[in-house]
Amino acid sequence: MSIAGLLVAGCSSFLGGSKTPTTIYAPATRAQAPAEWPAVRWSLALGRSYGGRGTDGLRIAVRPTPNELQVYKGAQWSRPPSEMLEEGILQTLEDSGRIATVARQGSGIGADYRLLLDVRRFESDYAGNSVPSATIEVTAKLMHVKTQQLAGSRTFLQVQTAATTAVPDVVVAFEQALANANREIAGWTLATGEQHARQR
Grade residue 125 by pLDDT with cuts at 50, 70 and 90.
very high
Q: Indicate the pTM of the whole model.
A: 0.87
- Do the beta carbons of residue 114 and residue 194 sit within 8 Å? no
Grade residue 19 by pLDDT with cuts at 50, 70 and 90.
low
- Do the beta carbons of residue 164 and residue 7 sit within 8 Å? no
CA distances to 106, 166, 198 from 194, in Å: 23, 42, 6
The predicted-structure confidence for 58-87, as pLDDT tens digits, reads as follows 999 999 999 999 999 999 999 999 999 999
Our measurement of the distance from residue 131's CA atom to the centroid of its chain's CA atoms, rounded to an integer in Å, reads 22
Average pLDDT over residues 108-118: 92
